[in-house]
Amino acid sequence: MYNFDVEKPTSIADAVAALGDDEAQALGGGQTLIPTLKQRLASPSKLVSLSGIAEMRGISLDAGVLSIGGGTPHGTVAAEAAGSYPALAALAGNIGDPAVRNRGTIGGSLANNDPAACYPAAALASGATIVTNAREIKADDYFDGLFTTVLEEGEIVTQVRLPVPEVANYQKFVQPASRFALVGVFVAKYADGVRVAVTGASEDGVFRWSEAEAALSANFSADALEGLSVDADGMMADIHGSKAYRAHLIGVLTKRAVAAAA
């Protein structure tokens, strides 16, 4: 690695001010950024650690909406959301390994928007609101392709608000080496309909499977998905799975998620 400065603000306002410096970069849990620095794929002159900002940590439930501070580690979500949003807690409890779950944060994951990360599927399927230091962004408007979001330079994810569904489930086909999702499907049933979000599969990143949503909103059962499939065009392909393989997995995992949630 190389020399850089580290600043540890204790408030969101101080963090925003620090990120105003040229070549400064926010550091959440560091589960993506630190390996990136080690490979010299990024070279910020200053890292602004968000781990000491108390107002960005913690979980609360109010009027059916689960609010999670952007600096809250996966392990905390797994433990403290289990009673209010079990599907989200289970998702968080199966991210990476214990070291990753104790350091990685929900805000960092959503800001990075890795195409195989789990939280983007949960946020999109839940119709979440991504709260930053400057604005509130609906999940449907937030994700903008692989490793890309609508966040502006220096904008920080301070909180994530997720409406709690009637029932939900996340199914993840794990890539064994990385523990990322080869394909992951999050299904959430609300009073006004069903949302289905897919991660790990598309060349455009996380997306909603609208055909499945329509079918499941009319009949929330795995049988409602019979005859539906995702077009393999636009799916990712690598040594772990072809386009057709990933497209097939989406259907399989969606049926499993519905069966588990129903």
DSSP letter for 136, please. Answer: E
Residue 159 has a pLDDT of 98
Q: Residue 46 in contact with residue 23, Cβ under 8 Å?
A: yes
Q: What is the pLDDT along the chain (262 residues), one digit of tens a residue?
A: 678 889 999 999 999 999 998 888 898 887 777 778 787 877 888 899 999 999 999 999 999 999 999 999 999 999 999 999 999 999 999 999 899 999 999 999 999 999 999 999 999 999 999 999 999 999 999 999 999 999 999 999 999 999 999 999 999 999 888 889 999 999 999 999 999 999 999 999 999 999 999 999 999 999 999 999 999 999 999 999 999 999 999 999 999 999 999 8
Pairing of strands 207-208, 193-199: antiparallel
Per-residue model confidence (pLDDT) at position 43? 80
pLDDT at 16: 95
Would you state the pLDDT for residue 64?
Answer: 98
State pTM to two decimals. Answer: 0.95
**Which ranges in 50-152 belong to alpha helices (H)?**
74-80, 86-93, 98-103, 106-112, 119-125, 139-142
Instruction: Tell me what pLDDT residue 1 has.
Output: 61
What pLDDT shows up at residue 185? 98
